[in-house]
Structure 1
Amino acid sequence: MNKVITLNSRPVGKPQLSDFKFEEVEMPQMKDGEVLLKTKFVSVDPYLRGRMSDAKSYVPPFELQKAMSSGVVAEVTESKNDQFKVGDFVSGSLEWKELQSVNPEHLTKVDDQIAPLSNYLGILGMTGLTAYLGLTEIGKPQKGETILVSGAAGAVGSVVGQIGKILGCRVVGIAGTDEKVEFLKSEFGYDDAINYNTTENMTKAIAEACPNGVDVYYDNVGGDISDAAHTNINRFGRVIVCGAISTYNETEVPTGPRVEGFLIKKSVLMQGFIVSNYAEKFPEAVKQLAQWLAEGKLKSSETIVEGFDQIPQAFIDLFSGKNTGKMIVKI
């Protein structure tokens, strides 16, 4: 039998293990043109929380009692497609199944000789693309400017800071533990970092860490932290709205300071995005990220949990910050 993880119920607030169901189904039957895939690595990401709710968004919600899905790296174990052979590794959006037979039209071959397979879900995958394209296309940082990153020790944030340093900027990160703060500075080259859990006045702390103000704010969390960041934005600053993990599990619409005033007074650009907005730029972005990785200018940070049955718990752990860098499940 083949293991699969389905959406059992729609979460109210923070997801629980009971919202997922482990099932065993019959082994997949291959059709002409398909490949049989064995799952090797599974990406868990905060955006999946939105798809667990029955709400209109940029991607359809997951269906109840149907398989969950996310970024996956898998190995071809059988092939009825001339473009793929047994032993090839591929990445793409795939279901949470141990084995699955699919048409490989939307899969990408990946090479474990160039980089570890898990990197194709992280720094050479959606994570790296999100960091690079959000920062360069919206933030447009200039040498000598100050970049502030929330969720800085997370998957995207840890890459954003490194790219900022490569581009010659001062980079300040916000994270949730002293260990992560030190890791940002020692491992990723952040110039300074703030532990929001031990800081009483975030507005003041950001001002002290960014004495010349904030030119680019890469926002992964939203909420009170972003309110404090906005107060410190410079004239003509840019706010990149990538994520809002602090609000994903709210059961009511959160309220806070209105942004219109600071946007107008300081002529600030504030733009949300999803990485697929820049799909045509993916090849050149991956090429640049791979080059920096090969040159040692970029480091990949991953928290790897082992075991197919651990996928739901690894996802839930994202909301309490138990990951440093990209959270990945190894099967």
Structure 2
Amino acid sequence: MVKSKVWTLKQQFDGQPKSSDFELVDEDLIPSIGSLEWKLLVYFQYCSESGYEYNTQFYFSEVLVEAEYLSVDPYMRVYKKETGKPMIGSGVGKVLKSANTSYKEGQKVFVNAGWRTHAIVSDKHSPYEVRHLPPLGDLPLSAGLGVMGMPGMTAYFGFIDTCKPKIGETVLVNGAAGAVGSVVGQLAKIKGCTVIGFAGSKEKCDWLTSLGFDHVFNYKETDVKTALNKSAPKGVDIYFDNVGGQFTVDALPYMNTFGRVLVCGAISTYHDGSPMLMPNPFMFILQKKLTVYGFIVTDVLNRWNEAFPEMLLWIQQGKLKFRETVTEGFDKMPEAFFSLFSGGNIGKAVVKV
């Protein structure tokens, strides 16, 4: 029998997430991979008594994984979650036991099983439960959750594949010191664009400047209109939006005709349960003839391997850099999650289990 520590959602979020919303519990993983024969015996008996056909494919695809790093991300705040169940999320870890010939004991894998130290997962039950990691070269394992994981793929497919940047265009990125925004800005530079980034502290702004961003602003000190009047005299061609809310209302008038807007997130609105009262942005969309995309990276999950070689090459060439904010200890999962909404992370936030 395998025991797992699990952070469950005790109650639904109301405004800013807080400690009382979570509960840490122990979970028995039954049956374990080691008792596969017994599991199949019970399964066959159940099918015989119930009149179902035998299908052993699922059981022979199971893998027991021990998490080494777990991800915390802003999207976890707004996606629907069931109370009493594990908090949603993904991680990278090591295969302890396997009934699946595609995964060997000791192999490092990507796992999507929530905030757990251990999980029994399958690549048949869901395409997202366990997957092979891309080649990471000399990168740390945690990079599989960041620049070579969901945030990096969001930046690659959202910006390059969807927005289709052209040399000489002006790109606006907010939340630019985060896991997604920092990569978007660097990809824009690789593609020959002028990049304007917004972040929330001097340290973050200094880092963005070191990455090659052309114009960097602390949104707490400089409002959007003042910043764009200065940095985008000819307008903005691509707006990669991670923040939403009033920032977007202020930014849209600066878009050029036939500009592209990619809505990746709206972190400024995640804790507000009431409708936002703001000017209607749709007249700007109409007048500027903007193309607006809503982008969710799991929609291109089967294409991630297309991006891996190019992303890894840019990292190895020094064209693409990344940072991680690492919190030590599984017991600190909620704390690491809270910090996302107070500007506590630079780059990708992960928890070392």
TM-score bracket, normalised by the shorter chain, equals: over 0.9
- Aligned CA-pair RMSD: 1.5
Mapping for residues 139-178 of structure 1, pairs under 5 Å: 139-178=163-202
Give the Cα separation in 1 of the matches to 2:143 and 2:136.
9
Among 212, 220, 223, which residue is 2:245 paired with? 223
Which of 16, 19, 33 is the aligned partner of 1:17? Answer: 19
Letter in 2 for 1:303: T
Kept in 2: contact 1:6–1:68 (CA 8 A):
yes
Describe the SS at the equivalent of 2:102.
coil
Question: How far does residue 280 in structure 1 lie from its aligned partner after superposition?
Answer: 4.2
2:149 is aligned, of 125, 128, 146, to 125
Alignment correspondent of 2:227: 205
Rounded Cα–Cα distance in structure 2 between residues aligned with 1:155 and 1:125: 10
Once residues 342 and 274 of structure 2 are traced to their aligned partners in structure 1, the CA distance between those partners, rounded to angstroms, is: 20
Deviations along 1:230-251, one digit per CA (max 9) or x if unpaired, are 1211111111110000001102
Within a 5 Å distance, the mapping from 1:43-58 to structure 2 comes to 43-51=71-79
1:112, distance to aligned residue in structure 2 (A): 5.5
Q: Classify the secondary structure of the residue corresponding to 1:68.
A: coil
| 1:49, distance to aligned residue in structure 2 (A) | 0.8
Query: How many angstroms apart in 2 are the aligned matches of 1:141 and 1:163?
Result: 10
In structure 2, relative to structure 1, the CA distance for the partners of 1:285 and 1:197 (3 Å cut) is same
Q: Which residue of 2 aligns with 1:193?
A: 216
Q: CA deviation at 1:27?
A: 4.8
Q: CA deviation at 1:42?
A: 0.5
- Post-superposition shift, 1:219? 0.3
Normalising to structure 2: TM-score of the pair?
Answer: 0.87
**Secondary structure in structure 1 of the residue aligned to 2:100:** coil
Match of residue 324 from structure 1: 346
For residue 224 of structure 1, give the secondary structure of its aligned residue in structure 2: helix
CA distance, structure 2, for counterparts of residue 269 and residue 229 of structure 1: 15
Q: Unpaired runs of 5+ in structure 1?
A: 52-60
Q: Please state if 1:103 is matched with 2:126.
A: no
> Cα deviations across residues 100-122 of structure 1 (Å, max 9, x unaligned)?
22224442223554531111111
- How far is the alpha carbon of 1:210 from its aligned partner? 1.7
For residue 319 of structure 1, give the secondary structure of its aligned residue in structure 2: helix
Secondary structure at the counterpart of residue 176 of structure 2: coil
| AA aligned opposite 2:269 | T
Structure 2 partner of 1:238: 260
Contact kept, 8 Å, 1:175 with 1:194, in 2: the verdict is: yes
Percent identity between the two aligned chains: 42
Between Structure 1 and Structure 2, how many residues are aligned? 320
Which of 31, 35, 41 is matched with 2:69 structurally? Answer: 41
What is the distance in 1 between the residues matched to 2:300 and 2:21?
Answer: 33
Assess, with a 3 A threshold, how the Cα gap between structure 1 residues 78 and 280 changes in structure 2: closer, same or farther. Answer: closer
Q: Note if contact 1:158-1:301 (Cα within 8 Å) is conserved in structure 2.
A: no
1:279 paired with 2:307, answer: no
- Which of 56, 59, 62 does residue 81 from structure 2 map onto? 62
Structure-2 separation of matches of 1:281 and 1:98:
28
Computing the radius of gyration from Cα coordinates, the structure with the larger value is: 2
The separation in 1 between residues aligned to 2:301 and 2:73, in whole angstroms, is 19
Question: How far 1:155 sits from its partner (Å)?
Answer: 0.8
| Unaligned segments of structure 2, at least 5 residues | 37-58
Per-residue CA deviation, residues 52-94 of structure 1 (Å, 9 max, x unaligned), is xxxxxxxxx2211111131210101122222222110000312
